A and B are shown apart, each in its own frame.
Chain A
């Protein structure tokens, strides 16, 4: 009986939390019915558990719809793949790479000099001619790479704006978007210089580039300490235009 009493006393908290299975709960209740001290303790624990149940976290939900959350998560997953964390292995990669680069700087000019002294002048003149088709191919690749790099950087900015900007130090009720606004302005000038919307290479992604540019323009003019409601229109454009997902798709298309 005494052993049963102490075993049940240890189970009262679990009973109050609703964590015991049916048979254990029934046995504990039988004991409590015959034990006034246990009944008092169970009642006190019940009051305490009721208090715990009023914690609003128990009914909380993310303030963002699942589809947008999934898109942001995919963008973050891609970013993590592109920028793997630095690890203890870096010297094993970096040192041989540096050695190879140094060797190339020292040895390649010598080899070229040697070749040039022995080769006929005519042949040298022919060698520097690059076929026009190859040049065009290179231009196409460069244009695509620039568009991809622009879209990746824009996505980075937009993901931060869409997910969780830091609070402003100066005004705690506002969001710190100074860095995102600055990066947006940089990106807009970079787009104007490097990505030609009329070129054949990026024509297929032009609507996305224009949408991205429109949103970046809004981010670029945000107050460095913006109010949460200032972002409502930007969030709506990202959500309704499914922009982050489209950026993912388009960068993949451009990368072939």
Chain B
């Protein structure tokens, strides 16, 4: 990151190698579209390069990048909502699990995973933004509560209560969606 801040463009590739998967998952959890998520990864790193000089050299890079990713994903998600876009299953005939290019599950568990993913996506839409961000960083990125607090600039107590409410609200919503 220090190299990027001094204008060393070669520093981007190793930085992306280390963090692009995490950023991608955060973006995908919001946008539920592999292409938009890939776009969000690039935008996150473009913003990181543009503001590299502002990065406080003492703090960790990952939370800083994740904050950019969350903010950017929320922006894109809101724009999509304004345009009236709805989260829909992928329609090009390629199952999402192939497009996600992650671990390759069996067709049955992939179909089941796809259904679960769609239901979770719908349920996540019902959460207030702060709760959703806390839940996303915990569930999709595995951040500790302290890291989430530092990333989102919230107190530890707020993070705990947000996660607690998010879990119960999601459970309620997913039961309604059954």
Stretch from B22-30, B53-61, B63-71, B74-82 that touches the partner: B22-30
Tell me the complex Cα distance, A64–B17, Å: 11
Q: How far is the CB of B80 from chain A (nearest CB, A)?
A: 14
Establish whether residues A56 and B96, one from each chain, have CB atoms under 8 Å apart when the complex forms.
yes
Q: Is the CB of A60 within 8 A of B28?
A: yes
- Whether A14 touches B42, Cβ cut-off 8 Å, given contacts A19-B145, A70-B16, A80-B50, is no
B65 CB, min distance to chain A CBs, angstroms: 13
Q: Are A57 and B38 within 8 A (Cβ)?
A: no
Minimal beta-carbon separation of B11 from chain A (angstroms): 10
Contacting residues, chain B, for A62 (C-beta < 8 A): 20-21, 24, 37-38, 41, 101
The reply to whether B29 and A56 contact each other, CB–CB distance below 8 Å, is: no
At the interface, yes or no: A228 with Cβ under 8 Å from chain B? yes
CB distance from A191 to the nearest CB of B (A): 27
Q: Let me know if B12 is at the binding interface, CB within 8 A.
A: yes
> Does A126 lie at the interface of the complex (its beta carbon under 8 Å from any beta carbon of B)?
no
Among B12, B21, B28, B167, the most chain A Cβ lie within 10 Å of the Cβ of B167
Determine if A60 and B24 form an interchain contact, defined as CB atoms under 8 angstroms apart: yes
A21 to B160, CA, bound (A): 12
Give the residue among A64, A73, A228 with the most B Cβ atoms within 10 A: A73
Tell me the dominant secondary structure on chain B's binding face. helix
Among residues of B, the one whose C-beta sits closest to the C-beta of A49 is B167
Contacts of A73 in B (CB 8 A): 12, 16, 41-42, 45-46, 49
Q: Is A123 an interface residue (CB 8 A)?
A: no
The smallest beta-carbon distance between A17 and chain B, in angstroms, is 6
Contacts of A57 in B (CB 8 A): 25, 28-29, 32, 100, 117, 140
Nearest-CB distance from B84 to chain A (Å)?
A: 15
Query: Which B residues lie within 8 Å of A70 (CB)?
Result: 12-13, 16-17, 45
The size of the chain A interface, using a CB distance under 8 A, is 41
Contact with B along A31-68 (1 / 0, CB 8 A): 00000000000000100110110111111111110110
How many B residues are at the interface, by size bracket?
A: 35 or more
Interface of A is mostly: helix
* A59 partner, pick from B93, B103, B120, beta carbons under 8 A: B103
Which chain B residues in 135-162 approach chain A with CB under 8 Å?
Answer: 138-140, 144-145, 160-161
In the complex, which residues 186-205 of chain A have their Cβ closer than 8 Å to any Cβ of chain B? none
Q: Answer yes or no: B5 CB below 8 A from chain A CBs.
A: no
Bound: A163/B21 CA distance, A = 16
B39 with A163: CB separation less than 8 A: yes
Interface residues in B82-96 by Cβ distance below 8 A to A read 91-94, 96
Contact B12 A74, beta carbon cutoff 8 Å: yes
30 contacts between A and B (CB under 8 A): A13-B167, A14-B145, A14-B160, A19-B144, A19-B163, A45-B171, A48-B167, A48-B174, A54-B113, A54-B116, A55-B116, A56-B100, A57-B28, A59-B100, A59-B102, A60-B101, A62-B20, A63-B34, A63-B100, A66-B17, A70-B16, A73-B41, A76-B43, A80-B50, A163-B38, A164-B38, A164-B39, A173-B91, A173-B92, A173-B93
Identify 20 new A-B residue pairs, CB closer than 8 A, beyond the known A54-B113, A62-B37, A76-B42: A11-B160, A13-B168, A48-B167, A54-B112, A55-B117, A56-B100, A56-B110, A57-B100, A57-B140, A59-B102, A59-B103, A60-B101, A61-B24, A62-B21, A64-B38, A66-B13, A73-B46, A76-B46, A167-B92, A172-B91
